[in-house]
């Protein structure tokens, strides 16, 4: 099995494991929580998306990564992180801008993943040395994708979230 297949298998299996955990345990528990608290819980892990900036550190990963992949990955993660932090702060303060911020963060964050994953496949980035960074996309990104899906679920199902967006 080549690097591309191993990478894809690991990412897919992580996604399946975290999706099952979310469906069976996390979503049912969060359904009983107040909306803002549930959104804070799901948004907080994205406050660590600065890990993506590691891809710009030649000492940490292959300095030959295509810049058309590594730069959007790093800055997209940084933008999502900042939006996540602003969202968490606004949610905690019960600010009127909280829901629009969460919607914005969740759309930007998920689109960032879609773009970077597509670019990574197109450019076959698995042929480069990821070193320890390998665990970010194969383990941590699936956690974040599942949390994005759960956030969308809450935003679309709870009346107060829909009203705040519309």
What are the pLDDT digits (tens) for 72-130?
999 999 999 999 999 999 999 999 999 999 999 999 999 999 999 999 999 999 999 88
Predicted confidence at residue 132, as pLDDT, reads: 84
**31 three-state secondary structure:** coil
Predicted confidence at residue 160, as pLDDT, reads: 63
Q: Read out DSSP for 127-165? A: GS--GGGGHIIIIIHHHHHHHHHHHHHHHHHSHHHHHHH
Q: How much of the chain exceeds pLDDT 70, in percent?
A: 95
Residue 80 lies in a domain: yes
Residue 20 lies in a domain: no
What is the length of the chain? 166
Q: What is the mean pLDDT of the chain?
A: 93
Highest mean pLDDT among 19-28, 47-56, 58-67: 19-28
Predicted confidence at residue 130, as pLDDT, reads: 87
- How many structural domains comprise the chain? 1
The answer to whether residue 165 scores a pLDDT higher than 80 is no
Residue 138 lies in a domain: yes
Q: How far is CA 116 from CA 22, 23, 73, 89, 121, in A?
A: 24, 26, 6, 27, 9
The pLDDT tens digits for 128-142 are 988 888 999 999 999
As a dihedral over the C-alpha atoms of residue 96, residue 101, residue 104, residue 107, rounded to 10 degrees, the angle is: -110
Q: Read out DSSP for 56-90? A: G-TTTS-TTS-HHHHHHHHHHHHHHHHHHHHHHHH
- What is the domain extent for residue 73? 3-14+35-165
DSSP 32: T
Predicted confidence at residue 60, as pLDDT, reads: 87
């Amino acid at each position: 099995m080549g690097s591309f297949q191993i990478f894809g298998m690991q990412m897919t299996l992580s996604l399946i494991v975290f999706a099952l955990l979310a469906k069976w345990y996390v979503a049912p528990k969060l359904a009983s929580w107040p909306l803002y608290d549930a959104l804070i819980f799901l948004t907080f892990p994205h406050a660590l998306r600065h890990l993506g900036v590691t891809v710009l550190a030649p000492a940490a990963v292959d300095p030959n990564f295509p810049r058309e992949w590594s730069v959007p990955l790093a800055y997209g993660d940084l933008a999502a992180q900042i939006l996540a932090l602003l969202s968490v702060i606004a949610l905690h303060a019960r600010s009127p801008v909280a829901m629009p911020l969460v919607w914005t963060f969740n759309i930007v964050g998920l689109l960032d993943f879609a773009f970077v994953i597509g670019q990574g496949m197109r450019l076959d980035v698995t042929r480069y040395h990821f070193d320890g960074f390998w665990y970010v996309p194969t383990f941590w990104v699936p956690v974040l994708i599942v949390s994005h899906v759960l956030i969308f679920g809450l935003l679309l199902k709870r009346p107060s979230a829909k009203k705040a967006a519309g």
